[in-house]
Amino acid sequence: MSGNRKVRLAILGSGRGSNFTAIADACAAGQLAAELAVVLTDVADSGILRLAHERGIKSQFIPPGKFRTKLDDEAESAFVEALDETQVDWIVLAGFMRILKGEFLRAFPNRVLNIHPSLLPSFPGLEAWTQALEYGVKVTGCTVHIVDQGVDTGPILGQRTVPVMDDDTPALLYARIQQAENLLYPEVLQALATGRLVIHGRRSVAVEEMVSKQNCLEI
């Protein structure tokens, strides 16, 4: 990150915006040394867009185009352009419901983060909390990871665990996971913003614990 300027974050979301709120609160409280530069959404009436407006954070709805699960080429270019214009350092996916591939990831190599509501590599994909409940695990949680070309497969930056209770419903379990997400995302972003995390192959390591930084990709 250059000079003394604060790390600039973009948040991309399609939904409620609880992770956006947690990150914005952490910035405002000085617990996260970063600036929320822009919020982008593919859903015109998303909660995250309303919340960004309320806080006076620059935000934009970009129509996603003709596909259901990904952005079409034109939309992808519009997202890349908006992010370039705003000069962001990290792109933080928080409930962004479109798979990002190709051009987008090449434009921001190792700069796109996501939060997933399970302990990856268990339960990638949709409704991870329901998958966990149906599988019968006793512990699940959430994961912040770098986005790569796969679905929920990139290097893991941080995880938090959550117990599964005997009388859990999908909604109860998901609410507990979301509380953990709202703690984990600002923590991981702060570690990145302060340069305390490096990636070594598939592993992210706290800088203080590194014996040698050789062959590490500084992020």
Which positions are catalytic?
A: 116
Helix (H, G, I), strand (E, B) or coil at 193: helix
| 197-200/203-206 β-pairing | antiparallel
Structure tokens at 194: 């302060």
> Looking at 18, 131, 190, 204, which residue binds ligand GRF (CB under 6 A)?
18
Taking the complex as a whole, the smallest distance from the CB of residue 133 to ligand GRF amounts, in Å, to 15
Reading the block at residue 99, the tokens are: 């798979």
> In this structure, what token pair is assigned to residue 98?
């479109």
Task: Enumerate residues 31-60 that contact ligand GRF by CB under 6 A.
Answer: 48
Q: Binding of ligand GRF at residue 17 (CB under 6 A)?
A: yes
Residue number, 163 or 207, with CB nearest to ligand GRF = 163
Given a contact cutoff of 8 angstroms between Cβ atoms, the answer to whether 93 and 104 are in contact is no
Nearer to ligand GRF, 37 or 95 (CB): 95
Left (φ > 0), alpha (ψ -120 to 50) or beta: where does 149 sit? alpha
**CA dist 31 → 2, 109, 219 (Å):** 20, 26, 20
Out of 89, 91, 113, 117, the residue judged to bind ligand GRF by CB under 6 A: 117
Window 130-169: contact mask with ligand GRF (x via CB under 6 A)? ----------------------------------------
Distance CA 156, CA 198 (A): 11
Contacts with ligand GRF by CB under 6 A lie at 13, 15-20, 48, 94-95, 115-117, 178, 181
